[in-house]
Amino acid sequence: MSNPRRRSRTTSDALADRFVARRHQLSLTQTELADLAGVSRSSVQAIEAGKRTIQLDVVSAIAEALGCDLVPITRAGKAVSA
């Protein structure tokens, strides 16, 4: 695997920050992550850039490829139980 490039964003987005950190932890490039998730590299790039209009199924596929769970939380920061 090649080393991932690190690029800074002008805005902060918690999901984007966590996905980038996990991808770097796994030493994956955006292209490698996209291949694992079955999505386009531009989808990975959009999420990592903090784009607000991303399809939930794409986010879910990327989270799965990163070995992460998506957990809904309230605005107060409490996890929502099923």
Domain boundaries, the chain: 14-65
C-alpha atoms less than 13 angstroms from C-alpha of 15 in its C-beta half-sphere: 21
pLDDT tens digits, one per residue of 12-64: 588 899 999 999 999 999 999 999 999 999 999 999 999 888 899 999 999 99
Outline where DSSP puts E strands in the chain. Answer: none
CATH architecture of 14-65: Orthogonal Bundle (1.10)
pLDDT for 22: 97
Q: Please tell me what DSSP assigns to residue 20.
A: H
pLDDT for 10: 44
Q: Dihedral through CA 36, CA 18, CA 47, CA 71, nearest 10?
A: 90
- CA 27 to centroid of chain Cα atoms: 14
